[in-house]
A and B are shown apart, each in its own frame.
Chain A
Amino acid sequence: MATDSTNTAEDLSTSTNASQGMEFSTDAYLDMDLLRFLTCGSVDDGKSTLIGRLLYDSKSIFEDQLEAAESASLSRGDQRMDLALLTDGLRAEREQGITIDVAYRYFATPKRKFIIADCPGHVQYTRNMVTGASTANLALILIDARHGVIEQSRRHSFITSLLRIPHLVVCVNKMDLVEWSEEKYNKIREDFEEFAARFEITDITFIPMSALTGDNVVNRSENMDWYQGPSLLHHLENVHIAGDRDMIDPRFPVQWVIRPQGDEHHDYRGYGGQVASGVFQVGDDVVALPSGMESKIKSIDIGGESFQYASPPQSVSIQLETDIDVSRGDMICRPHNRPISGQDIDAMVVWMAETPMVVGKKYTIRHTSSDARCVIKELRYRMDIDSLHRVEGATDLKLNEIGRVSFRTTKPLFFDPYRQCRATGSFIIVDEQTNNTVGAAMILGETS
């Protein structure tokens, strides 16, 4: 049954939720922050309807886009407009009625700008979900109130926890089809909390809703007076994300050395990069790795404009007081707060290629701004992502499989555990023959 995953333009525009409070203000816009979130689910759970409603109610779908989706539905013989046509961008997706790849969608309210990474939900698209999850601050998981917590909900929660998305919102959808039952909602909530206790997810919010009728999407529902929490949009606008960034441990991977050739700036030698974590300040004592040479920060600028501080995820150029040897792939940090330096590394790996990961094979890895070669020493176990059991004795990782892997690198990496810092705790694995990105790794720590 997927009757409620379709909608007509008219249904949406006559909805009672039509965007109060979405008036435009330049000042507000210039002061907005950015929330990247992930939606995962399949056609039947109402995800497209939910996204369609968020986009429509925030005036982010234009009439010509709506008309194009409508005429495509009609020419395909659908009775009503399929909102998935707004998000499914590739010919193959439209023809087959499936979502293959992550689609990025954008909308804004006066409080925030949002980037949605809209991911397919089925197990064969785990790698796509992981891709979308890697940059998200928040994950939305949809649960059909009629079916409760299913295998797919568990898998999505596990990936949310594996990628350490700080905030999770469980949307208990289609409440209209269970007579807005508080009892049904509470049962789902209890079931979810029970298995989620096994994951490290610090912030979970549950919202009963109907994306079709709009209850609790933008406005509070009148059909569920037993629910005292916020609507989904209200939650998305207000969830506290400033605390998600690590401001304690300064890490600055050097990407590019800025050295003007002309006479005018011949003394300028800036280290370009994006602050991975922590705060850097002019005058700070710093050390460059791997050389171990120490210096002080002389200046911080962006394209010539000076700043006193730099914090993540700013891209800046840092000059040091003394002329020490620093190049791409090096890391600038504080002398008394350094990342781990090591060549034997354990990580959770999501395999993303048709060709399986082979123990003993050499790959290239890209970590921060650094490249290294590595060899796979050991596959310690594979995770069965449906039962969440560890499978010992596995010999390879196939497409979409997840496991704990021990690596040996040809040179030391400067890293932190992924749980502490996403930017210095993650790397990608590249096949040296095909040049494809074949795996994503989240560092646990040094091999014990």
Chain B
Amino acid sequence: MTQTADSNAHYKLTHLKALEAEAIHIMREVAAQFEKPALMFSGGKDSIVMVHLAKKAFRPAKFPFPLLHIDTGHNFPEALDFRDKLCDELGERLIVHKVQDLIDRGIATEDPGPYPSRNRAQIPTLLDAIEKYEFDALFGGARRDEEKARAKERIFSFRDDFGQWDPKNQRPELWNLYNGRHQMGENIRVFPISNWTEMDVWQYIMLENIEIPDLYFSHKRDVVQRRGQLVPVGDAPFEARDGEAIINQTVRFRTVGDMSCTAATDSPASNLEEIVAEVAAARASERGARMDDKTNEAAMEDRKKEGYF
């Protein structure tokens, strides 16, 4: 219980419960204002928290939207297993849209060069899914504390029919009043946990006892040192490169993206309390472990303008 009722001044709401209330409100608003929403689900902790919030918003009924996974083909196998298990338990519909299919159709291309990232190839894949299923609103688990461009993005982030974000032309967003009106073909991205920090997410996972993939907890794994980061290695195309020595080390992941662009953290944290303490003491940001953001100063803003979530 987060409330006591001994006097009117004591209906105290902790900050996590206030953030939860805001997120539930946003999700219901989208359900009411849009015809065909979907919830982007990656198997990462933020999207798992989103699913938990959707349960709070809509149970005992089913979600009024499916889950959508943009499958890069570069996922950690553990994340995929977790995804399938969670969807079974939920009894909700999961749509998987594969980057590989778009590459095969010649619509998406893999980045050239030494880092075989499929980060950019997600963009046409996502836009293809939007077109195929006629989605008019997509929930994403992005947070404003992650990155500077995101710090300025609205909760209802309006996109044109090419999925593009125009940062200089954002709709004013006041009080808790969200304007989802749109033309045919346009859609919005919605970020219900915009105002959460990495710490809030971990604390909420702990508070609500939410199950997350084992990848987030310390485990033994083969990694190599590459450009100052601990990069997981595995089967092709994630094998060690010439001159790289494979080390079997106790690591965990602070963020889970593609295997090709997520670095591991040298950490013994094996439970939520230890992770929370580690996050509190951390001196590097979460996205510091994402090699895709390091390309240039405005990498995220540029990708968003192209249609990235």
Contacts and interface: CB of A to CB of B under 8 A. Distances in A.
A336 interface: no
Interface in B18-48: 18-22, 24-25, 28-29, 31-32
Interface stretch (B102-110, B117-125, B167-175, B242-250): B167-175
Nearest to B197: A106
Contacts of A315: 20-22, 24-25, 28, 56-57
Contacts of A264: 60
A359 interface: no
Most buried by B among A94, A113, A352: A113
Contacts of A127: 172
Interface residues of B, number: 75
A86 B147 CA distance: 10
Given A30-B14, A115-B195, A426-B177, A314 B21 contact: yes
Contacts of A427: 177
Contacts, number: 217
Contact of B297 (A94, A308, A352): A94
A212 interface: no
Contacts of A72: 297
A177 B175 CA distance: 38
B111 to A, nearest CB: 21
B62 interface: yes
Contact of B284 (A63, A106, A243): A63
Contact of A90 (B16, B167, B181, B183): B167
A343 B10 CA distance: 36
A24 B56 CA distance: 29
Contacts of A311: 3, 11, 13
A302 interface: yes
Nearest to B207: A30
Contacts of A130: 172, 174
Contacts of B199: 29, 108
Given A307-B3, A369-B32, A279 B8 contact: yes
Given A103-B152, A255-B32, A260-B61, A247 B8 contact: yes
A430 B33 CA distance: 14
A247 B11 contact: yes
B151 A89 contact: yes
Contacts of A346: none
A22 to B, nearest CB: 9
Nearest to A130: B174
In this complex, which of B1, B176, B195 has the most chain A Cβ atoms within 10 angstroms of its Cβ? B176
Interface in A20-44: 24, 26, 29-34
A407 to B, nearest CB: 16
A258 B58 CA distance: 6
Interface in A363-410: 364, 366-367, 369
B301 A89 contact: yes
Interface in B239-288: 273, 276-277, 280-285, 288
B73 to A, nearest CB: 29
Interface of B: 1, 3, 5, 8-22, 24-25, 28-29, 31-32, 55-62, 144-145, 147-152, 167-168, 170-177, 179, 181-183, 194-195, 197, 199-200, 203, 206-207, 273, 276-277, 280-285, 288, 297-298, 301
Please name the 7 residue pairs, one residue from A and one from B, whose CB atoms are nearest each other, closest first.
A89-B148, A303-B56, A315-B24, A34-B15, A311-B11, A24-B280, A62-B285
Given A59-B283, A309-B5, A427-B177, 6 more contacts: A100-B168, A112-B15, A268-B60, A315-B20, A422-B175, A436-B179
8 contacts: A34-B14, A87-B151, A104-B151, A127-B172, A134-B175, A256-B31, A260-B62, A313-B18
